Chain A
Amino acid sequence: MSDTDTHVLRRRWVFGLIGFGVLLGLVAVAWLSAQVFTDFNDRRAAPSDNVQWTLSQVEVDYLSYLNALETASAAQDAENGTLDLVRRRFDLFYSRVDTLAQSRVFQPLRQDDRFRLPLERVTRHLNAAIPLIDAPDAELSEQLDDLKRAALEIGPHVRTLAVSGISYFATESDQQRIQTAANLLRLAILSGALLLTLGAVSAYLLVVNRRATRRGRALRQANERMNTILSTSLDGVIVVDAKGDVIEFNPAAEAIFGYTADKARGRAIGDLIVPPHLRAAHRAGMERMQAGGDLHVVGKGRVQLEAMRADGEQFPVELALQSARAGDQEIIIGFVRDISQRVAAQQELISTRDQALAGEKAKAEFLTVMSHEIRTPLNGLLGNLTLLKNTRTTREQARFVENMEISGQILLSHVDSVLDIARFEAGKLSVALQPTDLNDILQEIVDGQSGNAASRGNSISWQWVGEARPCVAADAQRLRQILLNLVGNAIKFTENGRISIEVEVTEPGPTAGVNIFEFRIIDTGIGIGPDEVDVIFDDFHTSDPSTGLGLGIARRFARAMGGEIGVESTPEEGSVFWVRLPLQDAELDANVDSDQSDVQHAQPLDVLVVEDNEINREVICNMLKLDGHRVTVAENGQLGVDAAAAHRFDVILMDISMPVMDGPTATRHIRSGGGPSADIPIIAVSANVLPDAVDAFRAAGMTAFVGKPIALDALRKALRAVTEPDALIQPEDETDHIGDLRASLGADVFDRLLGKYLSEGDAVVAQLAGLDGGEADLDQVAQECHKLAGSAATFGAMGFRDALIAIEMAAKSADREQVAHLLRSLPEEWERAKAALPAPGAVKG
């Protein structure tokens, strides 16, 4: 811009100077022409008469006078005519000389002595002659000779007069000619200079003109190029002026917006393509720009906006604005891209992702539910194994039972692992360190897997490499699971071979007392191809789908423990799976794995059990009595509060859902009642293990929590936790099972309670199934369902229990339709629950 300005300015200066110079030249030429003209005029209109003639005539007049004198003197007294002629010739001569003496034409000449002196001499002669000439004829006649003599004397002077005069005027004329010639020369030079200047100006103009032509051609070409670019651009290009009126609208813009360029031109862009809800903002922006401010989006790259087509459809566009100056006008160029397809694709992608995430979540929920469903029957198996162990068995049978129990426990922890994965994915996995004897773990694994290994013709063994350092702080359960997964995997892919487990301290760890332990599971199996090595630890990746999550879990746990896991393998020769973990040295607590003896040493407690369900009440009482505790029972919350007010107990076990008064309310009463038991531990007993519910129990003043169905082990731990302040306070979730129950109660009591549960269930289900959902007494339905649900929970029939609770909830919210619907499927649920139970007396000592 400023370059062009300077350029234009400079050119104006050049033209100005040239114009001024030419004007000056013209003025000079005019002046000189006038000068020359005046010179000629002077010569033409000189105030000189015919000077030369006058001067030459002097001599003629003189000679005429002399001639007349001679004629007269020769005539001697002849006629008078000769004297008159003398007089006339004298007068003419006199007159001529007088002119020379008087005329201002001869004024400069008279300054010259060569002229002045002869003139004076002649004049003197003439003046002297006048008296004689004017005298009478006689007198003149007498003096003729004297006159003649005198006249002859001045002859040379007259000649000098004429010659000097003529020579003077010739000189003057010469000077004048020289002067004129000089003026003419000057005029010629100046005219030449002027011509040269004009020639130079013409040349310059020619050059300028050529340059302008060239520039015009370049401009035209650039214009054509620009038009081609505009018309072939895939982006819409719209140019508007400062008022927002459309100047350009290229074919792509026509296609996007559905206006022809002719229709669009001259119209306000705001009315054309801005959707109504954005027009106010658009107008504000334009006004801001007109006031000298910036448009927010000008020069800011691409922005996403909504635009409107001719048919009113609104769609997303990507818009880039640039402002520019065209001449003295501010213009805005908009590049518009229709991105409706892209946005649609993005939204589809997002919804696909959301669906995938929902699928993931559903999978996690499914895993959780599945694990839950597997745990219950597994607990039954384990319970029965425990019972079997307590019966008379042969040594061999005892070993089988032991193996079965170990495998069962491993299976249980396997199911727990799946739960762990779900928690891990939710970021909730925690590593619980405790003193651990690696020898025990390894031996356990080898023992537990030896049957499995033998069934495929494999031998299995373990050993330390290097110094044995079995006592470490570790999450034994996780470590066991990692190793078990790897061993299980090795057995699965090895036939008639050997599985050996090696453990070695390979290097010191990052901090003192921590060492890197490497566990190697070496098999002689089919091995793994190199292309599979990298993916073998991914979830659900396996050459045999039944392996499932094993290796994926192993890797998760290894990483959670700060370690790493890997494999080296040669196909057809075998594999080495290795796990490297940093483990802290630890002193092994002699009692750590002997709960039994610990509890047996526990002091008897005075326990209040508040529970409305008869079967549950009896189960709990039996379990407590088994450990030597003294038990008082209350059948609902209110009775519990009364009992607590009358006596100081060591601990209270409090059911949550009860008639008359529920558990949390009773707890609050006890805590605030100021009675002798106001500050003792209160343990919540509930089937609801969700964290929110547990938090609510704590908020009501409960100290700890035991899940239903209640397990002896969990009960013991809970009691120990609340009565021994130093113990780890960690409410145990569902680890209970029917076998445990039977073991705790003894077979006779268990069978009696089971029979009672079965007859009660039959009666209630028959009664409920006979009800018409539309007329039934809903309160009674809710009560019956609640009571039976408690029993079902105790016997681990979770599905049945859930069905009963659903009916109870529906009845309480008076939703008769839902009650009727749920009641129809209840008998089926009951049959399934019964099928899952052992027949009474089926297992006898």
Chain B
Amino acid sequence: MRILLAALAMILTLGQAQAQDLAEPTGEVVLTITGNLTQSGAEDGVRFDMDMLKALPARTFATSTIWTEGESTFVGVPLSVVLEAVGADGSMIRATAINDYAVEIPMDSVTESDPIVAYEMDGAEMSRRQKGPLWIVYPYDSDPKYQTEVTYSRSIWQLDRLEVVK
């Protein structure tokens, strides 16, 4: 069963890699990425609906946050995967929320796995009232380096825009 799942994930990944052109969103757009993008067809920005995000390889971890009660399980796409998907080429990412709250995340602070662009918390999608639908989350409990004010400020919720800055 596990082998089967792994094989399936592999097929999905391969399928994505082969899909050179990004699909057009069919549902409500939840994330718009602009800036210096190298992926063909992404020159004018890439728009993601929830299905497109969910199609990307996901990462799941459990952690507590300073904004929620108790430990929660988050599911989302690692930011690095999203950026790779759009061929982001820059030193800085400007992330902006629905209410226009914005932070800057240096490119070299982004690792292969952290942070994730979470779309599920405790098995359910997050509504706007619950800091949804997208939330940049770090695994705060796993490493003290993620328990700094900088990290907390970068944990932007109600995310809806990313801009790759040179």
Is A759 in the interface zone, CB < 8 Å from B?
Answer: no
> Is B68's CB under 8 angstroms from A91's CB?
no
> Is B130's CB under 8 angstroms from A45's CB?
no
> Is A47's CB under 8 angstroms from B147's CB?
yes
A92 in complex: contacting residue of B98, B147, B148, B155, CB < 8 Å: B98
**Cα–Cα distance between A95 and B135 once the two chains are bound (Å):** 13
Contact A95-B128, Cβ < 8 Å, known A45-B148, A45-B149, A47-B152: yes
**Cα–Cα distance between A319 and B152 once the two chains are bound (Å):** 97
Is B34 in the interface zone, CB < 8 Å from A?
Answer: no
> Is B128's CB under 8 angstroms from A91's CB?
yes
Chain A 39-59, CB-CB to B under 8 Å as 1, else 0, gives 000001111111000000100
**Cα–Cα distance between A102 and B69 once the two chains are bound (Å):** 6
**Cα–Cα distance between A814 and B145 once the two chains are bound (Å):** 142
> Is B129's CB under 8 angstroms from A98's CB?
yes
> Is B148's CB under 8 angstroms from A44's CB?
yes
B66 in complex: contacting residue of A61, A94, A105, CB < 8 Å: A105
> Is A49's CB under 8 angstroms from B148's CB?
no
Is B131 in the interface zone, CB < 8 Å from A?
Answer: yes
In the complex, what residues of B have CB within 8 A of residue A45's CB? Answer: 147-149
Instruction: State which size class the interface on A falls in.
Output: 20 to 34
**Cα–Cα distance between A103 and B70 once the two chains are bound (Å):** 10
In the complex, what residues of A have CB within 8 A of residue B127's CB? Answer: 91
B128 in complex: contacting residue of A44, A48, A64, A92, CB < 8 Å: A92
In the complex, what residues of A have CB within 8 A of residue B66's CB? Answer: 47-49, 103-105
A49 in complex: contacting residue of B67, B130, B158, CB < 8 Å: B67
**Cα–Cα distance between A88 and B99 once the two chains are bound (Å):** 9
Is A99 in the interface zone, CB < 8 Å from B?
Answer: yes
Chain B 54-89, CB-CB to A under 8 Å as 1, else 0, gives 000000000000111100000000000000000000
Is B157 in the interface zone, CB < 8 Å from A?
Answer: yes
Chain B 2-38, CB-CB to A under 8 Å as 1, else 0, gives 0000000000000000000000000000000000000
Contact A102-B67, Cβ < 8 Å, known A45-B148, A94-B129: yes
Is B153 in the interface zone, CB < 8 Å from A?
Answer: yes
In the complex, what residues of B have CB within 8 A of residue A95's CB? Answer: 128-131, 157-158
> Is B68's CB under 8 angstroms from A103's CB?
yes
Q: How far is the CB of B150 from chain A (nearest CB, A)?
A: 8
In the complex, what residues of A have CB within 8 A of residue B155's CB? Answer: 49
A100 to B, closest residue via Cβ: B67
Q: How far is the CB of A49 from chain B (nearest CB, A)?
A: 4
In the complex, what residues of A have CB within 8 A of residue B131's CB? Answer: 95, 99
In the complex, what residues of B have CB within 8 A of residue A48's CB? Answer: 66, 149, 152
**Cα–Cα distance between A278 and B12 once the two chains are bound (Å):** 114
In the complex, what residues of B have CB within 8 A of residue A57's CB? Answer: 99, 101
In the complex, what residues of A have CB within 8 A of residue B129's CB? Answer: 91, 94-95, 98
Q: Which of B99, B127, B148, B158 is packed against the most chain A CB atoms within 10 Å?
A: B99
Contact A49-B147, Cβ < 8 Å, known A88-B128, A91-B127, A104-B66: no
With A61-B99, A95-B130, A103-B67 given, can you name 15 additional A-B contacts, CB distance below 8 Å?
A: A45-B147, A47-B147, A47-B152, A48-B149, A49-B66, A49-B152, A64-B99, A91-B128, A92-B98, A95-B129, A98-B130, A102-B67, A102-B69, A103-B68, A104-B69
Residues of A near any B CB (own CB < 8 A) = 44-50, 57, 61, 64, 88, 91-92, 94-95, 98-99, 102-105
Residues of B near any A CB (own CB < 8 A) = 66-69, 98-99, 101, 127-131, 147-149, 152-153, 155, 157-158
Name the 4 nearest CB pairs between A and B, nearest first. A91-B128, A45-B148, A103-B67, A94-B129
A-B contact pairs, 11 of them (CB 8 A): A47-B66, A47-B152, A48-B66, A91-B127, A92-B99, A94-B128, A95-B131, A98-B129, A99-B67, A103-B67, A104-B67
